[in-house]
Amino acid sequence: MTLIHVFPGQGSHRPGIGKDLFPEFPHLVRQADSVLGRSITDLCLNASAAELTDTRNTQTAMYVVGALSYLDAVRTTGRVPDAVAGHSLGEYVALFAAGTFDFLTGLEIVVRRGELMAKAPEGGMAAVMGPDPERIREVLTRHAPGVDVANLNAPGQTVVSGPRDQIKELGTAFGDEARAVVPLKVGGPFHSRYMADAAEEFGAFLAQYRLGPPRIEVVSNVTARPYGSDDPAGLLTRQIASPVRWTESVEYLLGHPDAEFRELGPGEVLTGLVTQIRAARRALSPTA
């Protein structure tokens, strides 16, 4: 059996996350407080939904809770996963789990990532349910040329990103072709062309760190394949403005012997996506 831990990103946040974890890791909570200049416990447990949706707060909260969830899982089960992957921000938790950076360094990097992404132009994201990605791109080219494909989450579920005015018109643009077009509670047009400046600035920021190669397999959002032995900074920089290739990442991991996925962190969004991807794979190849 191949144990695979997966870590969610923005969209899985909600007030109250981490409640049971913070008392178990007081030294790491103190480290987080020192980096943030505020109480991570207060942010996660007492902030309003609107405050927690601010990408600067969402990213730090999800990283801390994800990292503590991983440490708690290893401590309670006694087993380190064979491979890890994270969705967008969740990839930082995966890299922490793989030893690319320590908890404090990862948090410093995530804080800066959130700050830069919060400076992006006004925009939003929406999940388009039904059409395949190529058809979505055709519709966007014709009716919403400022909108990009951002997350390839599962067969029949693709997230797009761009200016809010064009995002709002997507229901009309897709009409009956889409089962639904669902706006997401995020603070900007992430994983799109509009993040190019943030990515460039983030790459310059990462240059001050020496990031180690992962000690266990980490699948990259950008390539849908494992990180190599090179410095991970290049892939992390590209990730900000590139689509999250989650379907391909899970399909790659499903090729491991007897793959067993365990989602760590708030919610079960990724668990649902893995189930959809696995089902679609079996439909195409019943022996898979």
Rounded Cα distance between 179 and 76, Å, is 41
What amino acid positions are annotated as catalytic residues? 88, 191
In angstroms, rounded to a whole number, what is the distance separating the alpha carbons of residues 131 and 39?
43
